A and B are shown apart, each in its own frame.
Chain A
Amino acid sequence: MTVSKKVVLRFDAKIVDQPIMYSLIKDYGLIPNILKAEINPHKQGYLVLELSGENQKYAEGMEYLNSLGISVDALDEKVVWLEDRCMQCGVCTGLCPTQALSMNRPSMEVSFDGEKCIVCEMCLKSCPAKAVELRF
């Protein structure tokens, strides 16, 4: 059995210099797909990632993270597409990395699939009509 979750790792300034990703991959066989990261020397930081792997190993990986004092939270930010505000241009679809925002062809209408969204926020910044919102 494998598991795949979108999580937010928050860590203290003290452990920023540790190769956490390396350990997750090498020691626990987990596959991290980093979606967003804010890591700076001597500062607390966070990582948003999709983490997948075998069930048992995943649990062990979580224990390892906890042992370092890293908090692991489910990613619960959500992008909401405001269909009424959307002016149906489709410029977001060129930037959305997962095709959560996509164009139906040949109608060229924009649609949004929240399941595919990884909350990278590209659409949030680039939507000219401000038709995308972030909700927690």
Chain B
Amino acid sequence: MSVTKTYEEINEKIKKGKVVVVTAEEVIDIAAKEGIKKAAAKVDVVTTGTFGPMCSSGAFLNFGHSKPKIKMQKVWLNGIPAYGGIAAVDAYIGATEVAEDDPCNKVHPGSFSYGGGHVIEDLVAGKPIQLETTAYGTDCYPRRKLETTITIDDLNNALLFNPRNAYQNYNVGINTTKKTIYTYMGVLKPNMCNANYSSAGQLSPLMNDPYYRTIGIGTRIFLAGGTGYVAWHGTQHSPSEERTEKGVPTGGAGTLAVMGDLKQMNSGFLRGVSILGYGASLAVGVGIPIPILNEEILEFTTVRDEEIFAPVVDYGTSYPNAEPGNLGLVSYAQLKSGKITINGKEVKTAPISSYPKARQIAETLKQWILNGKFYLTQPAQLLPSVEDDIKIKPLVIK
């Protein structure tokens, strides 16, 4: 008989302290020793994790009303502009925003030492943040200007809302040109001297549920040290990418829009980052539990770095010019070894995402579930998958 479990059954086991939870690393050995069927019967939840710069991130904040009231049309936090074009005293601070007087890349490569991601890290760390805001006056919101200091505790709401996180897979950045380039994939030296990658591979959430059979809208997740939820499929979610026999895409593919209460988070898993010559961003930690509803789902979670491939993309030529093609596929096992071979040349590799943090996230989530602090949710709706035939369109300039 094949194994089937329901969300309710798994949650009941969590409640009774009888749940079996392992990480996406641990499940590999268990399945190898005991076989898929036995492993699926034994294991109830597999936890995953990823930690890396995720530029499409930011936070909705509500500051409360001053006396007299102000509309907060323009908002700055520690000098970084936040978007105020929503209701009075709400604003969205985006991870990649920089100060209006930031020199950016005027002296190339710019350092981008403080941006929206850093404001979010400082908020989470409980540091005081300088708030400046201006507005046109109205009869209901007469004040035109204010300056004060706030901390996260002063805010009525602080909602991390990231429209595109946890990319299923990602490019490996390389540079075939004759000069150093500064990209969101890091500093890429000329003549393919180094290559950077950004994925937790076998530990990464969407690598372990490649067709999104369990992860969907309403899935409760680990988000930057707190509990969060999958809100929607992420922007540029592209399930119809090429896949290996085991279903793992060999390029970007799926993404998640996630949200959670910033007040629960901790700056160990939410870090402002400065990417030389590129910009500011936010490194986010995401961990997703995968309920082992059947053998097939268990088998997906046994994916290993050797079986996951990423395209090596030239960020010196084809990437900026939106030209298709790559210099070949390499496995995460090769990438993690520290060197790959491209066109016969040995190239040094380095990650932009943190594998130790990914492991720490999967382990933390595992402990939360084992200790009955975290229950699984059945998605209200699954994410679009291969059968939905989504095509990501380029922007056509008319």
Contact = CB atoms under 8 A, between A and B. Distances in A.
B354 A130 contact: no
B355 to A, nearest CB: 4
A56 to B, nearest CB: 38
Nearest to B273: A128
Contacts of B357: 87-88
A89 B336 contact: no
Contacts of A108: 336, 351, 354-356
Contacts, number: 73
Nearest to A128: B273
Given A94-B194, A129-B271, A89 B351 contact: yes
B383 to A, nearest CB: 27
Interface size class of chain A, counting residues whose CB lies under 8 Å from the partner chain: 20 to 34
Contacts of B283: 87, 89, 128-129
Nearest to A93: B350
B145 interface: no
Interface in A62-117: 87-95, 103, 105-109
Contacts of B276: 125-126
B53 interface: yes
Given A91-B196, A109-B356, A130 B52 contact: no
- Residue among A87, A88, A92 with most chain B CB within 10 A: A87
A98 to B, nearest CB: 13
B186 A126 contact: yes
A87 B351 contact: no
Interface of B: 51-53, 109, 111, 113, 186-187, 189, 194-196, 271, 273-276, 281, 283, 336-338, 348-357
6 contacts: A87-B357, A90-B350, A95-B189, A108-B336, A128-B274, A130-B274
Interface of A: 87-95, 103, 105-109, 122, 125-126, 128-130
**A-B interface, 3 closest residue pairs, ranked by CB to CB distance from nearest:** A94-B350, A128-B273, A108-B355
